[in-house]
Amino acid sequence: MSNKLSTDSYKGVRDFYPEDQFIQNYIFGVWKKTAESFGYVEYGASILEPSEIYKEKSGEEIVNEQTFTFIDRGEREVTLRPEMTPTVARMVAAHKRDLGFPLRWYSIPNLFRYEAPQRGRLREHWQLNVDIFGSKTYEADTEVIKIAYNIMRNFGATPNDFEIRLNSHSNKEDLDKVISSLKEADINNTKIDETLARGQAYYTGVVFEFFDTNVANPRSILGGGRYDNLVDLFSNDDVPAVGFGAGDVTIKDFLITHGLLPTYKSTTNLYIALLSLDYGQYAEKLANSLRSEGLNVSIDFSGRKVGDQIKVADKHKVPFLIVIGDEEVKSETFKLKDLRTGEEKPVNQSEISACVK
């Protein structure tokens, strides 16, 4: 082939190399742990939905211009989901008789919007969705805001790093109750913003957004509100709901701005280098034994010089390494090297796991 394919990804989407995936997993981990600490359980759904569920609330023009919409082979118009809320409303309506309310659900879906990529906004992203269904009380509004607040704190942010802006699409009275309840929980970085209006048409009550206070990143971090009528698209029964969404792109920008990103750590604990491929079978038996003890072990079967194998282990940020040769096989004693410090110490097989852990 004379013309090679481009290595560029599709415009507005991302590749996740191990270091990127490490950050992504960290973000997801904080999201999951915090949501579950409030008693929320995870759900999921397909990225494909019938286009009409978005047209009904957002309008046909928005669906046609800002989504990935196409006709499938069965002549059905489908859309790659641009948001999760209509999907979860459909799911709740489908099984509302079998579900125990109030529901506390969360998900981390992949979402797609056809728009010009820019800082904090791409054509696809992952988004934490946290929702409570079946409660009309202001305490439910307060709870989801508390979850968002705790997420920010669990990322290492201080209350001075962000501001909670609130408004209401209906009752101002409920807004006062929410703010008062937040203050009782020692959440004081709140502000009433009468210009705040969430973009989706389905919000019916209190709405809120978290804003970065750093001048280097003056933007919304996450947002949500009450949407009591969305389930009406699928059912005649009222199911009040309130929730929020937090995107991985904006959260990562916030963490970078405030110096809160964790340092990359490899999931591999130990790298085994071989003086010769003749020691491969011995290395396999050793590795399998160590894996049974809970270690993640990688063996270098490249046949390259030991120095080059060590460079690879170091480049991959594997913390520990042993080299296997004739001496190690005969004595069953290994030099365990800490690649972070350069220190070495002799260990026998039974000591490796404890030293690495």
Q: What's the confidence (pLDDT) of residue 71?
A: 94
Shared domain for 169 and 282, answered yes or no, is no
How far CA 137 is from CA of 79, 196, 240, in Å, comes to 34, 21, 9
The pLDDT of 80-89, averaged and rounded, is: 92
Q: What's the confidence (pLDDT) of residue 353?
A: 95
Shared domain for 166 and 290, answered yes or no, is no
Shared domain for 47 and 150, answered yes or no, is yes
CATH number at residue 102: 3.30.930.10
Query: How many CB atoms within 10 Å of residue 53?
Result: 19
Long-range contacts of 97-100 (CB under 8 A, 24+ apart): 99/133
For the chain, what is the domain count?
2
207, 231, 257 — which closes off a domain?
257
The pLDDT of 308-336, averaged and rounded, is: 96
Q: Is residue 136 part of a domain?
A: yes
Q: Is residue 265 part of a domain?
A: no
Shared domain for 146 and 107, answered yes or no, is yes
How far CA 72 is from CA of 62, 133, 297, in Å, comes to 20, 32, 45
The pLDDT of 306-313, averaged and rounded, is: 97
Q: What's the confidence (pLDDT) of residue 238?
A: 82
pLDDT band, very low/low/confident/very high, at 25 (cuts 50, 70, 90): very high
Q: SS3 for 333?
A: strand
- The DSSP call for residue 217 is S
Residue with tokens 């040769």: 325
Shared domain for 150 and 175, answered yes or no, is yes
Q: What's the confidence (pLDDT) of residue 198?
A: 61
Q: What's the confidence (pLDDT) of residue 143?
A: 97
Q: What's the confidence (pLDDT) of residue 109?
A: 97
Q: Is residue 10 part of a domain?
A: no
Shared domain for 217 and 288, answered yes or no, is no
- Share the mean pLDDT of the chain: 93
Shared domain for 199 and 337, answered yes or no, is no
Cβ contacts of residue 20 below 8 Å, gap of 6+? 14
Beta bridge partners of 163: 211
206, 231, 257 — which closes off a domain?
257
Q: Is residue 6 part of a domain?
A: no
Closest CA to 34 of 181, 156, 210, 122: 156
Shared domain for 62 and 85, answered yes or no, is yes
Shared domain for 178 and 61, answered yes or no, is yes
Q: Is residue 280 part of a domain?
A: yes
Q: Is residue 58 part of a domain?
A: yes
Whether 321 shows a pLDDT value over 70: the answer reads yes
CATH number at residue 322: 3.40.50.800
Q: Of 46-60, 65-79, 223-237, 285-299, give the range with the top mean pLDDT.
A: 285-299
pTM value is: 0.92
Q: Is residue 1 part of a domain?
A: no
Shared domain for 94 and 228, answered yes or no, is yes
Whether 155 shows a pLDDT value over 80: the answer reads yes
Q: What's the confidence (pLDDT) of residue 119?
A: 78
| Token representation of residue 265 | 């750590």
Whether 346 shows a pLDDT value over 90: the answer reads yes
| Token representation of residue 78 | 């489908």
Shared domain for 295 and 168, answered yes or no, is no
205, 227, 257 — which closes off a domain?
257
Q: 205, 194 in Cβ contact below 8 A?
A: no
Whether 190 shows a pLDDT value over 90: the answer reads yes
pLDDT in tens, 30-64: 999 999 999 999 999 999 999 998 887 777 777 88
Whether 340 shows a pLDDT value over 90: the answer reads yes
Q: What's the confidence (pLDDT) of residue 1?
A: 55
Q: SS3 for 266?
A: coil
Whether 354 shows a pLDDT value over 90: the answer reads yes
Whether 90 shows a pLDDT value over 70: the answer reads yes
| Token representation of residue 348 | 């026998």
Cα R_g (the chain), whole angstroms: 26
Shared domain for 227 and 311, answered yes or no, is no
Q: Is residue 313 part of a domain?
A: yes
Task: Provide the residue range defining the domain that includes 306.
Answer: 270-356
Closest CA to 258 of 161, 176, 346, 337: 161
